[in-house]
Structures are given as structure tokens and as C-alpha cells.
């Protein structure tokens, strides 16, 4: 004979079912939402929807948190924290369009060009965060970091192909600071293979302080640079940012405000 009271029985059954379904949120909220449902006279369907909604919301939040952690962003910079007034060369409709992340399923690229301090890394991280929220796995590294990763893979037999295949699971790869350090021939070759393997397969977001016309300096080879740019820009949004460094500018404005105040 069952020793449990009907209430204890349903508690145990629901706890067991939530576990079997791997839906811990349901296990946590069914009781409290049941009380609310009784108080507010919800229909069975409304109650079921409320319970499932909580589970789905938690699952999405956990997925986003996991993607944000594995993306290895160097800082948390959001698009909401980016002030477009400081960057008149950036068209707001273009930024708003990129923020929808619709460039990712079509494997389009984003290239951000401009001098230091204009917000390239900030925008790259901000767009990367949007992608994580939209459910796309993202991986961020500097150009130098990518070369280290790819040469480590290359040193193992057949490792480069394996690594490039593995990287396909990331729908967006961010390559920050291309051009700060020139590549030797081996590094240029590895980078070319990365770009070639992503072509029409997965998005790249690249930031560089050098205009395309100077990419020959990065790869020490104009032909390689031209072939690379050709593949990158075939399906891409290329954004050139200019203006003063945000750091210098905000500092100058701060100084000016302080001076004004003193007058």
C-alpha cells in the first residue's frame, strides 16, 4: 500500500518527472505557480504555459551565460554602452542592422577599420554579445592569439584541418587587432587558411587599425593580402571609423568641463 498522502505523492511524482525531463526550473516553480493559479483562477492551459515559460526562460538565460563564458571576451562592452554620438562616421542604421545578428546565418563578415581608440574592440564585443544572446556560439581572440592557436594545431599531424573543422561550431569568430603585429610567412599562411575555411561557411568579425590598402604590410605580401581581402569582402559589411580616440576625447572634455567650472 502506498504510504504517501496524495499531496506528498504528487510532490514526489513531479520532482521525479522534472528530473527525468531535465527541467529543474519546473521542479522548482510548479508548486508556487500552482498556488498563484488557484488564487487567480488560471485555466489549466494558462498554468501549463506559465510553468513551461519559466523553464524556457531559464534555459535560454543559461545558454546565453554559457556562450558568453566560452566566447572569451576580454571585457563586457555592450552596444547599449556605446555612444554613437562620438562616432558620426558610423551609420546608425548599419549598426542597428548588425545588432540584429542577421549577418550570421548567411555567414557574412564584418570588418571594422580605424585608428586606435575609436571603439573597434568595443563594437566587436558588443556585437559578439548580441550574437550570444541570439543563440550563436562566438569565439573572440586577438589576431596574435589566433595565430598562436592555429600554429599549435598545425604542429600536430593533421591538426590544422581538425581545428578549422572544430571552429565551424562557432558561428562568429572575432579577430581583434589585425595589423598591430606583422605576420611572418607561416603566420600569414595560417591566417589565410582560416579565412578560406570560413568563406561562405561562418562569419568573421575583424578589426584592424590599417586600411585595406596597407594590408600588404601585415602579410608581407601584396598578393596574399589581396586574395584575403577578396574573400573577406565578398559578403561583408565594411565599416571605416575615424575621428579622435574616445579615450583622449573624453579626457579632453573632462578637462574642459573642469576648466569651465573653475572660471
Tell me which residues touch ligand ADP (CB under 6 A): 77, 81-83, 86-87, 114, 116-122, 246-247
CB of 114 to ligand ADP, least distance (A): 6
128 binds, options Mg ion, ligand ADP, none, Cβ within 5 to 8 A by partner type: none
Pick the closer one to ligand ADP by CB: 33 or 128.
128
Instruction: Show the site string, 174-213: x = touches Mg ion by CB under 5 A, - = not.
Output: ----------------------------------------
Which grid cell sits at 45?
Answer: 492551459
Strand, helix or coil at 88? coil
CB 175 within 8 A of CB 145: no
Q: Phi, psi (5° rounding) for residue 236?
A: -155, 155
Pick the closer one to ligand ADP by CB: 62 or 78.
78
Alpha carbon distance 191, 150 (integer Å): 8
Q: How many CB atoms lie within 10 A of CB 237?
A: 16
Residue 87 touches Mg ion, criterion: CB under 5 A: no
Pick the closer one to ligand ADP by CB: 125 or 224.
125
Strand, helix or coil at 203? strand
CB of 121 to ligand ADP, least distance (A): 3
137 binds, options ligand ADP, Mg ion, none, Cβ within 5 to 8 A by partner type: none
Instruction: Show the site string, 104-123: x = touches Mg ion by CB under 5 A, - = not.
Output: ----------------xx--
DSSP element (H, E) containing 251: helix 246-262
Alpha carbon distance 229, 223 (integer Å): 10
Amino acid at each position: 500500500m502506498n504510504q504517501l498522502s496524495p499531496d506528498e505523492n504528487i510532490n514526489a511524482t513531479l520532482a521525479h518527472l522534472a528530473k527525468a525531463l531535465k527541467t529543474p526550473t519546473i521542479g522548482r516553480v510548479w508548486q508556487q505557480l500552482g498556488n498563484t493559479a488557484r488564487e487567480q483562477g488560471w485555466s489549466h492551459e494558462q498554468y501549463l504555459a506559465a510553468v513551461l515559460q519559466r523553464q524556457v526562460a531559464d534555459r535560454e538565460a543559461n545558454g546565453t551565460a554559457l556562450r558568453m563564458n566560452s566566447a572569451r571576451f576580454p571585457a563586457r562592452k555592450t552596444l547599449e554602452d556605446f555612444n554613437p554620438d562620438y562616432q558620426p562616421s558610423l551609420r546608425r542604421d548599419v549598426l542597428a542592422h548588425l545588432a540584429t545578428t542577421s549577418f550570421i546565418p548567411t555567414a557574412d563578415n564584418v570588418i571594422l577599420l580605424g585608428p586606435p581608440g575609436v571603439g573597434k574592440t568595443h563594437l566587436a564585443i558588443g556585437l559578439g554579445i548580441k550574437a550570444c544572446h541570439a543563440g550563436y556560439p562566438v569565439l573572440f581572440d586577438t589576431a596574435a592569439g589566433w595565430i598562436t592557436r592555429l600554429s599549435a594545431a598545425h604542429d600536430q599531424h593533421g591538426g590544422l584541418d581538425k581545428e578549422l573543422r572544430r571552429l565551424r561550431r562557432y558561428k562568429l569568430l572575432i579577430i581583434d587587432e589585425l595589423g598591430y603585429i606583422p605576420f611572418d610567412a607561416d603566420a600569414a599562411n595560417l591566417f589565410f587558411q582560416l579565412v578560406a575555411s570560413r568563406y561562405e561557411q561562418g562569419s568573421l568579425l575583424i578589426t584592424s587599425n590599417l586600411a585595406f590598402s596597407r594590408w600588404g604590410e601585415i602579410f608581407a605580401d601584396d598578393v596574399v593580402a589581396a586574395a584575403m581581402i577578396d574573400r573577406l569582402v565578398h559578403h561583408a559589411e565594411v565599416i571605416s571609423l575615424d575621428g579622435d580616440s574616445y579615450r583622449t576625447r573624453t579626457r579632453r572634455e573632462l578637462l574642459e568641463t573642469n576648466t569651465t567650472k573653475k572660471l
